Amino acid sequence: MKTYLTPVKEIEKKWFVVDVEGKVLGRIASEIATRLRGKHKPTYSTFMDNGDIIVVVNAEKVKLTGKKLTDKVYYHHTGYMGGIKGISAEDLLEKKPTDLIFKAVKGMLPKNSLGRTQLKKLKVYAGTEHPHEAQQPEKLEL
């Protein structure tokens, strides 16, 4: 028996809105990553992008458990000698609350070209407003 593969033209991508106010970052990020990859669908295959498009609102009101807010540090390198920089989760939540969710979900996706295309389907907004009302996204409770 052959494995059924959905043709690219028949893949149905739905729009969903996720309100993360008061939700724990890691738990919500893993659910979002699963939806972006399409693992919740019966037509899932590892090498195809058949996931949905997720719009995240209220990113500034996400919770971190324990002492992660002060102790967790996000590092990046400038490219210069000794140019490693770090920012705590608390400071990142104040400056760019969208990056906190974006980085959490990015770490849970594959590290290849497929993961990069799946990450483009994630739209994160700090407040309750988003410019995707024309797509009529459905509300998703996670």
Q: Is 75 inside a domain boundary?
A: no
Determine the pLDDT at residue 81.
97
* Residue 107 falls inside a structural domain: yes
Structural domain count of the chain: 1
Q: Give me the pLDDT at residue 99, please.
A: 97
Is residue 52 situated within a structural domain? yes
pLDDT in tens, 50-65: 999 999 999 999 999 9
Residue 40 confidence (pLDDT) above 80: yes
In a domain, 90, yes or no: no
Output DSSP code: residue 8. G
Q: CA 8, CA 50: separation in Å to the nearest integer?
A: 8
Whether residue 78 is contained in a domain is answered as no
Q: Could you tell me if residue 109 is inside a domain?
A: yes
Q: What is the pLDDT of residue 113?
A: 97
Task: Provide the domain limits for residue 34.
Answer: 14-64+97-139
Residue 28 lies in a domain: yes
Summarised one tens digit per residue, pLDDT across range 70-108 is 999 999 999 999 999 999 999 999 999 999 999 999 999
Residue 33 lies in a domain: yes
Q: What is the CATH number of the domain that holds 40?
A: 3.90.1180.10
